[in-house]
């Protein structure tokens, strides 16, 4: 394999030979500036230079209609005049663009034109005697135009592509065919205008050049407009397709292809910005090429939100040494609030990207950034819909969807499926002592610890209720038990600190149920069995332990042993069937919280406290209707479910409850105050998030409170 420097030297040597050959041809055809020809040289050189300075930018080439003047001189004047005017015009135009092109090109481009013209003249010389012998004076001019033009076309493309191959070390057939197509299109305009100039020359002389300059400018403008419209339409069409894409990889891939086609860049890479501020390099298949990329050019592109072109790569401007690129262009993808990354493209020669490339890529970047911004917002909304804001875990609704899906799959395939419930022991006590802000921090830290363990085992973790978390995964009973023990130990050993508060002795209880081993009939049945193991196997056996489901728990699940009321587990099981009856809506959930229960327990003891809870249960039973469902929700909270009552009647029910408590005198305690909060279920669609709403209302009393 030839090394890069060797290739570059070969390209350099090829250009030196080209320049030398061009100068030799010129010196063999000296020109004589006369009083009648100076205006011709002036107009011809100026118009050709202007055509060079204002070309039309295409992905792999620049095109202009300077050939109109080239072939006009071929038809109308002698060979020396044609060669020198073309050489001078190309030289002046390239000098004017010296700051935007390689220095070698100042002499390479004029020499190339001289050699191609000379090749055309030599080809024409073979048929010229035959034409003159038949007195075909004007016909010989037309033949000369076509022969010189065709030979010029062939030699020009041959030499250019050989030179590009030597300098860039690759050849693209698609790029070459695209260049030939555009050049053929240009010739359709060039030949007629050159012939028109030859007809007008006998009447206008040198001023003919000014006349044909008008249609040249018009056609150039049309080509530029068509080219811009073509790319704008392609970008717009691509953006319509991108707007329907939801995943980022599809958007990035399509953007890659458009940017590559627009510039014909040899190297293209997406530098995706990571949270730590570095960039990750991806190819068009979304595969990682480089990691931990950092560079001031990338930060500048993001900061300025503009396409940045680096025409000559030197020293600190080099991004990727392996690319051997001599020019870069950086396209930032920046939304209103999010930085997505930078598309970086490189070419192996200096000044590979033109101003038009910057404009078109800028338009593309703006469109893609809008699409990425919109997709980012959609992703955030979708994420917010399934993520619990406090803990960052999946919410209750998403968990139920995954539970149904995984249950059916495991049932069909016979694979293991375990469900684990974690519950923080005495969490309400910590809330009462330290307040809800510290309680929320405890929830967050417990969630973080549990998640770190579950992620390692490929287990899905969600927040299930107030202080409950639930995990589901393809595990054997032994694996689930080990996972539960690992989470329990880590939480037991963890020091919970928040600001100036240190919360000690945080523990959890864990319940486990297995689909096959415990013969779960449905997703809700599996959940209930895990619930039973949590409360009867772990909570009732002293807490801070892991328990596995046993059939003896079934009869103890739905009735609270102290009050004789239904448990929250019964409500969970009953809720779906309640929601199936439309006459139950609106359904109201009255959360009755006994105030000062901790003080009662401290002053009078737990026996008196338990007696108060029993009396409250009897008081609620006697106050509410016979078909109202009453549950013990937490240690000192009760939940009353009232079905099919208009919201305006809630005031009457609330007043009835408050009056009952105001009239009742509790043994040893006297009167007990309560807080009453209402959460309303308007339709069955709201059922999956009901318990989260009740928990939010319980902690913050931000729901409708009736006093």
**177: how many CB neighbours lie within 10 A of its CB?**
10
Strands 339-347 and 327-334: antiparallel
Res. 509 pLDDT band, cuts 50 70 90: very high
- Look at 189 and 151; give whichever has higher pLDDT: 151
pLDDT, position 137: 57
**CA pair distance 73, 93, nearest whole angstrom:** 18
Determine the average pLDDT of the residues in 286-315.
83
**pTM to 2 decimals?**
0.49
Cα-Cα-Cα-Cα dihedral sign, residues 15, 21, 27, 31: negative
Whether the predicted pLDDT of 699 surpasses 80 = no
Mean pLDDT, rounded, for 348-377:
78
Share of the chain above pLDDT 90, in %: 24
pLDDT in tens, 14-67: 888 888 998 998 889 887 777 677 888 889 889 888 888 887 766 556 777 888
| Reported confidence tier of residue 498, pLDDT bands at 50, 70, 90 | confident
Tokens of 633: 């929700």
The single-letter DSSP state of residue 565 is P
Reported as a pLDDT band with limits 50, 70 and 90, residue 504 is confident
Whose tokens are 């489901």? That residue is 549
380 has pLDDT over 80 = no
How many C-beta neighbours within 10 Å does residue 129 have? 9
Cα–Cα distance for residue pair 573/551, rounded to 1 Å: 17
Please give the structure tokens belonging to residue 418: 């375990």
Contacts of 126 (CB under 8 A, 6+ apart): none
Residue pLDDT, tens place only, 558-569? 788 888 888 887
SS3 160: helix
| 7 has a pLDDT exceeding 60 | no
Check whether the bond before 194 is cis (ω within 30° of 0): no
**C-alpha–C-alpha distance, residues 242 and 333, integer Å:** 14
Can you tell me the mean pLDDT for 334-352?
A: 80
**Measured distance CA(392)–CA(405) in Å, rounded:** 22
Are the CB atoms for 605 and 670 separated by under 8 Å? no
Residue-level pLDDT at 107: 84
Q: If DSSP codes are grouped into helix, strand and coil, which group holds residue 622?
A: helix
What Cα–Cα distance (Å) separates residue 696 from each residue in 259, 389, 552, 625, 691? Answer: 49, 12, 33, 27, 9
Structure confidence at residue 2 (pLDDT): 43
* Per-residue pLDDT, 590: 93
| pLDDT, tens digit, 9 for 90 and up, residues 532-558 | 899 889 988 889 999 999 887 766 667
Determine the pLDDT at residue 638: 94
Residue that wins the pLDDT comparison between 422 and 248: 422
Strand arrangement of the beta sheet that strand 460-463 belongs to: 460-463, 468-473, 418-424, 508-514, 546-548
Residues in the chain: 707
- pLDDT, position 571: 84
Which has the closest alpha carbon to 59: 430, 511, 274, 364? Answer: 364
Least confident of 7-11, 37-41, 409-413: 7-11
pLDDT digits (tens, 9 = 90+) for 459-494: 999 998 778 999 999 999 999 999 999 999 999 999
In this predicted structure, the answer to whether residue 178 has a pLDDT above a threshold of 80 is no
Residue 707's Cβ-count burial label (10 Å; 0-12, 13-18, 19+) is exposed
Distance CA 337, CA 334 (A): 8
Q: Which two tokens stand for residue 200?
A: 């007008």
**Average pLDDT rounded to a whole number, residues 243-251:** 71
Mean pLDDT of 277-282: 86
Pick the most confident of 124-138, 217-231, 590-604: 590-604
Position with higher pLDDT, 291 vs 498: 291
The answer to whether residues 117 and 74 touch, using CB atoms and an 8 Å cutoff, is yes
Average pLDDT taken over every residue of the chain: 83
Q: What is the pLDDT of residue 586?
A: 92
Give CA–CA dist 263/356, Å, rounded: 10
Number of helices and strands in the chain (H, E): 22, 21
Quick one: residue 101, left, alpha or beta (phi over 0 = left, psi -120 to 50 = alpha)?
Answer: beta
Does the pLDDT value for residue 452 go beyond 90?
yes
- Residue-wise pLDDT for 69-106, tens only, equals 888 898 888 899 889 998 998 888 888 876 666 677 78
Instruction: Report, as an integer, the average pLDDT of 359-380.
Output: 77
Region 606-628: mean pLDDT is 90
In which band, very low, low, confident or very high, does the pLDDT at 138 lie, cut at 50, 70 and 90?
Answer: low
Predicted local confidence at residue 132, as pLDDT: 67
Q: Rounded to 5 degrees, what are φ and ψ at 135?
A: 55, 40
**Distant-in-sequence, close-in-space partners of 173: CB < 8 Å, separation ≥ 6:** none
Specify the pLDDT at position 179: 67
Q: Tell me how far apart the alpha carbons of residues 73 and 190 are, in angstroms, rounded to a whole number.
A: 12
Q: Long-range contacts of range 657-664, CB-CB < 8 Å, 24 or more positions apart?
A: 657/590, 657/592, 657/620, 657/623, 658/707, 660/619, 660/622, 660/623, 661/619, 664/615, 664/619
Coil, helix or strand at residue 354: coil
Amino acid 486: pLDDT: 96
Pair of tokens at residue 650: 């809630």
Q: Is the pLDDT of residue 513 over 90?
A: yes
- Give the pLDDT score at 167: 62
Can you tell me which residue has the tokens 């891939």? 253
Which tokens hold the place of 327? 């020019």
What CA dihedral angle connects 395, 398, 399 and 400, to 10 degrees? 130
- Which residue numbers are catalytic? 467
**Per-residue confidence (pLDDT) for residue 60, from 0 to 100:** 56
């Amino acid at each position: 394999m030839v090394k890069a420097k060797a290739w570059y030297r070969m390209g350099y040597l090829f250009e030196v030979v080209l320049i030398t050959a061009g100068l030799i041809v010129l010196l063999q055809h000296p020109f004589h500036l006369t009083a009648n020809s100076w205006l011709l040289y002036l107009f011809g050189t100026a118009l050709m230079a202007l055509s060079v300075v204002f070309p039309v930018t295409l992905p792999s080439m620049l095109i202009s209609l300077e050939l109109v003047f080239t072939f006009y001189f071929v038809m109308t004047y002698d060979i020396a005049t044609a060669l020198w005017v073309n050489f001078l015009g190309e030289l002046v135009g390239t000098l004017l663009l010296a700051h935007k092109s390689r220095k070698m090109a100042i002499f390479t481009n004029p020499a190339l034109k001289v050699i191609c013209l000379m090749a055309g003249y030599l080809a024409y010389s073979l048929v010229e005697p035959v034409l003159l012998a038949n007195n075909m004076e004007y016909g010989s001019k037309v033949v000369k135009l076509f022969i010189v033009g065709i030979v010029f076309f062939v030699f020009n493309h041959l030499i250019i592509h050989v030179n590009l191959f030597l300098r860039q070390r690759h050849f693209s057939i698609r790029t070459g065919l695209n260049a030939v197509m555009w050049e053929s299109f240009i010739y359709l305009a060039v030949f007629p205008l050159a012939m028109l100039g030859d007809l007008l020359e006998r009447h206008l002389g040198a001023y003919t050049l000014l006349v044909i300059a008008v249609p040249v400018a018009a056609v150039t403008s049309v080509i530029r407009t068509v080219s811009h419209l073509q790319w704008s339409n392609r970008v717009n069409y691509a953006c319509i397709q991108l707007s329907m894409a939801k995943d980022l990889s599809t958007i990035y891939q399509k953007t890659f292809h458009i940017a590559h086609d627009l510039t014909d860049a040899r190297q293209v890479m997406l530098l995706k910005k990571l949270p730590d501020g570095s960039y990750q390099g991806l190819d068009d298949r979304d595969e990682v090429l480089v990691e931990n990329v950092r560079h001031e050019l990338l930060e500048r592109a993001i900061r300025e939100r503009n396409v940045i072109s680096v025409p000559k790569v030197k020293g600190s401007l080099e991004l990727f040494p392996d690319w051997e690129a001599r020019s870069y262009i950086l396209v930032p993808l920046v939304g209103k609030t999010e930085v997505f990354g930078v598309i970086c493209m490189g070419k192996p020669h200096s000044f590979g990207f033109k101003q038009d490339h910057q404009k078109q890529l800028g338009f593309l970047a703006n469109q893609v950034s809008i699409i990425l911004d919109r997709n980012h917002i959609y992703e955030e909304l979708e994420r917010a819909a399934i993520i619990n804001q406090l803990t960052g875990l999946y919410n209750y609704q998403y968990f139920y969807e995954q539970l149904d899906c995984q249950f059916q799959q495991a049932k069909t395939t016979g694979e293991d499926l375990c469900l684990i419930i974690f519950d923080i022991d005495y969490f309400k006590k910590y809330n009462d002592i330290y307040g809800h802000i510290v309680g929320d921090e405890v929830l967050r830290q417990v969630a973080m610890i549990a998640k770190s363990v579950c992620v390692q085992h490929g287990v899905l973790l969600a927040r299930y209720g107030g202080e409950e978390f639930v995990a589901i995964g393809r595990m054997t009973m032994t694996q689930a038990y080990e996972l539960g023990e690992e989470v329990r130990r880590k939480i037991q050993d963890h020091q919970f600190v928040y600001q100036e508060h240190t919360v000690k002795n945080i523990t959890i209880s864990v319940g486990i149920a297995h689909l096959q081993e415990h013969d779960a009939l449905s997703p809700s049945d599996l959940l209930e069995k895990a619930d039973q193991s949590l409360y009867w196997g772990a909570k009732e056996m002293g807490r801070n332990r892991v328990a596995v489901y046993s059939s003896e728990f079934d009869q103890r699940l739905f009735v609270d042993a102290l009050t004789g009321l239904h448990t929250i587990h019964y409500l969970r099981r009953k809720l779906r069937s309640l929601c199936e009856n439309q006459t139950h809506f609106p359904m109201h959930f009255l959360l009755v919280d006994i105030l000062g229960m901790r003080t009662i327990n401290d002053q009078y003891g737990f026996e008196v406290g338990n007696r108060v809870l029993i009396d409250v249960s009897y008081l609620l039973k006697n106050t509410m209707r016979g078909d109202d469902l009453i549950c013990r929700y937490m240690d000192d909270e009760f939940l009353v479910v009232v079905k099919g009552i208009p919201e305006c009647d809630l005031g009457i029910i609330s007043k009835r409850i408050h009056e009952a408590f105001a009239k009742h005198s509790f043994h040893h305690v006297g009167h007990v105050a309560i807080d009453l909060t209402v959460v309303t279920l308007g339709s069955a669609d709201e059922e999956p998030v009901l318990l989260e709403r009740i928990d939010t209302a319980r902690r913050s009393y931000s729901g409708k409170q009736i006093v």
